[in-house]
Amino acid sequence: MPQNPDRRARILRLMAMLLLALGLALPATPSLAQAAGHVRVKIVKAGLLVGGGAGNGTLVYRGKTYPFRVSGLSFGITIGVTVGRLDGWASGIREIGDFAGTYSSVGGGFALVGGVNGVHLRNEKGVTIVLQGPKAGLELAANISQITITLK
């Protein structure tokens, strides 16, 4: 029994539209290459014109915890001593080795007994870290920083 060609075309169009609607309605799954990791850092900074800092932290990435060390130098106006605890996210990690490296930042801050710190860092492998949190101490800073992260 032959079918009407117009009816067949309408059915095919309807099926195509349903498949397209279903594809658009499904939630997008994030790429493993773009998985973000939670970062927690404790850092002590001190300086007079040239500043320095060191600390340690953890990266929780894909369900595993990776401890790391952080050290850095800042150039510009830096006066004081502070202790900071920062929390945030790292993105652009394709493999855990991408997290280690040298990060650059331009920023500033002020603390008199207590304050808030925030930083946006990016390394040569395209990993971006955004951190914020409280700091305690005395600091006046407007500088360019280079921070090195080493996995333990």
- Edge to edge, the sheet with strand 37-61 lists 37-61, 64-91, 128-151, 101-123
What is the pLDDT of the chain when averaged over all its residues? 79
Which amino acid, 24?
A: L
Other Cβ atoms less than 10 A from the Cβ of 18: the count is 10
* pLDDT confidence tier of residue 137, bands split at 50, 70 and 90: confident
**Among 12-26, 31-45, 49-63, 103-117, which range has the highest average pLDDT?**
49-63
- In this predicted structure, what is the pLDDT of residue 110? 60
Overall average pLDDT of the 123-149 stretch: 84
Residue 129: pLDDT over 70: yes
Position 27 scores a pLDDT of 47
Angstrom distances, CA of residue 26 to CA of 19, 22, 29, 88, 152: 11, 6, 9, 29, 40
Helix, strand counts (H, E) of the chain: 1, 4
Comparing 113 with 60, the larger pLDDT belongs to 60
CA 29 to the chain's CA centroid:
19
104 φ/ψ angles, rounded to the nearest 5 degrees = -115, 150
Q: State residue 68's pLDDT score.
A: 96
Answering whether pTM is above 0.75, one says no
Query: For residue 51, what are the β-bridge partners?
Result: 47, 74
For 73-89, what is the mean pLDDT?
81
Q: Tell me what pLDDT residue 3 has.
A: 62
